[in-house]
Amino acid sequence: MAVKLYEDIISQRMKAPRFKHSKNVAKEAVRLAKKYGADVEKAELAGILHDATKETGEKEQMELIAKAGIVLTEMERESPKLWHAISGSAFVQVVLGIDDQEVIDAIRYHTTGRAGMTLLDKVIFIADFISADRDYEGVDRMRKITEKNLDDAVLEGMSFTIADLAQRKITIAPDTMAGYNELAAIRARAKKS
C-alpha cells in the first residue's frame, strides 16, 4: 500500500496540527499492530487516514456519505461530531478508491468503537486515544493499560467516552454502548472462570 501517497493527499486536506496527529496515530498503530499481531500495513494506512475529513465542512461530509451509499441513523444525523469518522470511511472509498473493508471499518469506528470489533478496529481506536500528541487527564493510565491488554484498553476507552458524554449530557452512540457491553460481558465471564 502506498501510504506515502495517501499521506501527501491528506496533508493537503488538513492543518499542520491535525496532520501531525494523523502521523502520530499511524506511528502508534504500527507499534500496536506489531505488539498484538494486526496487519502492520493496514494499521499504518488506517492510522494516517482516520481523520481524513475531520476538517471538512458538514455539506461535503454529507455528500461523501451519500456517494458511498451510507445511510445514517437518526442518532448519527443528529451527531455531527461523529460524521468525520463516517465520512472519512466514505472518502477513502469514493475518493481514494480503497476497497479494503477492514481499513474502511477501522476508520469508520475509530471514534465510537462497536460490538464485534476486529483487531485492526481496536488498534486504530486505541492508537487515536494514546498517540504521542495526546495529553488529556488519564492518558498515562490508558497507555499503561494498553501495554498489558488491548481489550482492557478498548473497554477503558469506551468507559472514558461514556462517562465523559454522560457527564456533559450528550447522547452516546449505540455502537459505543454495544461495544462496551460486549467487552464488559467478556471480561465478567473471564473473571468467573
The full set of domain ranges for the chain reads 3-192
Output the CA–CA distances (angstroms, integers) from residue 5 to 12, 51, 91, 102, in the order listed: 12, 16, 15, 20
Residues with Cβ < 8 Å from 33, sequence gap 6 or more?
39, 40, 42, 43, 44, 120, 123
pLDDT digits (tens, 9 = 90+) for 145-159: 999 999 999 999 999
Residue 60 backbone dihedrals phi, psi, to 5 degrees: -65, -35
Smallest Cα–Cα separation from 89: which of 135, 134, 131, 120? 120
pTM of the model: 0.96
d(CA 166, CA 117): 23
* Candidates 3.40.50.9100, 3.40.50.620, 1.10.3210.10, 1.20.140.10; CATH matching 3-192: 1.10.3210.10
pLDDT at 8: 94
**Tens digits of per-residue pLDDT, 59-107?**
999 999 999 999 999 999 999 999 999 999 999 999 999 999 999 999 9
Q: What is the C-alpha separation between 190 and 127, in angstroms, rounded?
A: 25
Handedness of CA 180, 78, 74, 76 (dihedral sign): negative
User: How many residues are recorded in the chain?
Assistant: 193
Q: What percent of the chain has pLDDT over 70?
A: 99
What number of other Cβ atoms are within 10 A of residue 57's Cβ?
Answer: 9
The average confidence (pLDDT) of the chain is 96
Closest Cα to residue 178, out of 160, 162, 166? 162
Confidence band for 1, pLDDT divided at 50, 70 and 90 = low
List the grid coordinates of 36: 498484538
- Residue partners of 114: CB distance under 8 A and separation at least 6: 121, 175, 176, 178, 179
**What pLDDT score does 193 carry?**
81
CA 10 vs CA 18, 50, 54, 94: distances in Å: 10, 10, 11, 14
